[in-house]
Amino acid sequence: MSIGLVSAAYVVAAILFILALGGLSNQEKAKRAIWYGIIGMTLAIVATVAGPGVANLPLIVVMIAIGGVAGWFVAKKVQMTQMPELVAGFHSLVGLAAVFIGVGAHLEMERALAAVADGTAGQLAGFAATIAKKTSVELGILKVELFLGILIGAITFTGSIIAYGKLAGKLSSNALTLPGRHAINLAAFVVCFILGFLYLQGAGLWTMILVAIIAGLIGCHLILAIGGADMPVVVSMLNSYSGWAAAAIGFTLGNDLLIVVGALVGASGAILSYIMCKGMNRSFASVILGGWGGDASGPQQEVEGEMVPTNVETVVQQLDDADSVVFVPGYGLAVAQAQGAISELTKRLRDKGKTVRYAIHPVAGRLPGHMNVLLAEAKVPYDYVLEMDEINDDFPDTDFVMIVGANDIVNPSAQDDPNSPIAGMPVLEVWKAKNVVISKRGQGKGYSGVENPLFFKDNSRMLYGDAKDSLDAILKQMD
């Protein structure tokens, strides 16, 4: 394939990626948008592999086959509850690729410079041949690109691994607050940039290896210092980091499509992170800097009262008496795989002439849009699903609210307790409804480890047990 055809294919692929990204903002267009992305990525891979100057084609085909089979296997095996950590895992691979490509590009640069010095540059091919033609200024720019790619890539790699551990429950969701943690991060960044300066002055690969190690430690520390309540923002933020790492790789390799795609992912991830921070009343700088300024100024308020349990029979009677019902899904719904049961319950209540809707918090679950995807999978009509801003004013006129596996997003201490770790975070004001039932496995605290006063209110009752078992029992009682 000629250079002209490759460039044309890259332009078409870039347009398809933009259409895919734009389509994901609308639930009705999302399926078509995914196909745009699939076709664009296929076109990009084919154009790259079939392009001029591609070496080791058999090895590339084998690697694509291995990656494709691995991706298919993971996609078939992963559960909906594992989607957040799967995304974090993918981000880590992008960061690791950026580090490896940076190191590989440096080795190719050394090979090209050695060939120029020996007068054998004419025998070079591929990337090394391109490097051999660069001026000293262009080589300096390439070194800057390598440095940025390795720095961002290493932070993304280790940060994503820590995010995976927190999301999968393998690491504590509590924030790690080391004394002087911000000074530690700042000092580490300063050391990285000093090493980068030495690299520009002619120091060897050892400087970039040290940058990768230090940046990796920064990534670990940054994400460990972020609490569970902010993890959905972290996933979005790491998505942005992976995009910028990909863009840096694109500059290094001279691949225009990679630059465009990386910039799209980086910018969209940053915008989404900012929107989510705004929706949670969080400082964007606070989250990306590992909880800067997020310390409480005093002790949290004590929760008084006791959790009052209820049973399936009582819940069925409350549903029968209610004219308006709101379901609030959370991560526990995904864990229990109860989306099918709650969809069937919605259908039956609707058939009885009741108004049934879903209230979705912007960070419900552990991934932006997690609950929307879960309900769409269960074929819950889109017009039943309302965002927090659309439904919050309706709770005082709602007869019955059932919370299924949600905790922090319905916690009134966000409004009432200025010392709460989630203080100022907009929440679903479910406590204003006439009756509230919380489907929960036990009396434990939420993912962020914050006690929820909602569970102790007079109009709230606890329906203990697995969410799917509870919903199935309700359906059975309604027969």
CB count, 10 Å around CB of 200? 14
How big, in percent rounded to 5, are the helix, strand and coil portions of the chain? 65, 5, 30
Asked if pLDDT for residue 415 goes beyond 90, the answer is no
Report the pLDDT averaged over residues 379-388: 88
Of residues 150 and 307, more confidence is placed in: 150
Grade residue 417 by pLDDT with cuts at 50, 70 and 90.
confident
Residue 38, number of CB atoms within 10 A of its CB: 12
User: Distance between CA atoms of 333 and 364, rounded to whole angstroms?
Assistant: 11
* Rounded Cα–Cα distance for residues 80 and 233 (Å): 19
**Rounded CA gap, 8 and 68, in Å?**
25
Give the CA distances from residue 12 to residues 17, 18, 44, 231, in Å, rounded to whole numbers and listed in that order: 9, 10, 9, 35
Hey, is 299 helix, strand or coil?
coil
Estimate the crossing angle of helix 30-49 against helix 3-23, to 10 degrees: 160
Q: Which residue has the tokens 């639930």?
A: 27
Catalytic residue, from 408, 469, 472, 479: name it.
408
**pLDDT band, residue 324 (cuts 50/70/90):** very high
Q: Is the pLDDT of residue 364 over 50?
A: yes
- pLDDT category of residue 118 using cuts at 50, 70 and 90: confident
Determine the average pLDDT of the residues in 371-394: 87
CA torsion through residues 164, 168, 171, 176, sign: positive
- Supply the mean pLDDT for the chain: 85
Nearest to 265 by CA among 238, 234, 294: 238
pLDDT at 293: 45
The better pLDDT of the pair 231, 17 is held by 17
Active site residue 417: no
Q: Can you give the C-alpha Rg of the chain in angstroms?
A: 26
What pairing do the DSSP bridges indicate for beta strands 460-464 and 355-360? unpaired
Tell me how far the alpha carbon of residue 299 is from its chain's centroid.
Answer: 31
pTM: 0.78
